[in-house]
Amino acid sequence: MAEAPRRYPQPMTLHPQIAAFAAQLDDLTRLLRGQGDRLWSDRIDLIHRAVADSNYNGVERFLALFDGEDSFADLTLADADAQSALVTCRAAARAMAQRLAKEEQAGD
């Protein structure tokens, strides 16, 4: 008698807004790594992993990167094209995170 094929759990489907935010974080990580920045790319990669696992803590952690001195908002890249891409990508990711945070607060 043939053995039944093993079934592995399917990865959880992310809410479209969370999936879009995760993709934006991935873009940020790739951009920063491409420019040789390990500090911020590693931080954002950890946050990306949390978000990709549907962990809301990742949204809070991303928004916290904009607080205080030497925040993520202060980061500049030497390459003008990369800096322009960073400004656009960072603003989009921040707007997505703020929207998700607002929705989370409204649900409480």
The b/e string for 31-65 (b: 16+ C-beta within 10 A; e otherwise) is bbeebebeebbebbbebbebbbeeeeebbebbbeb
- Global pTM reads 0.83
| Burial of 5 from C-beta contacts in 10 A (0-12 / 13-18 / 19+) | exposed
| pLDDT tens, residue by residue, 20-62 | 999 999 999 999 999 999 999 999 999 999 998 888 899 999 9
CB proximity list for 16: less than 8 A, separation 6 or greater: none
Is residue 100 over pLDDT 80? Answer: yes
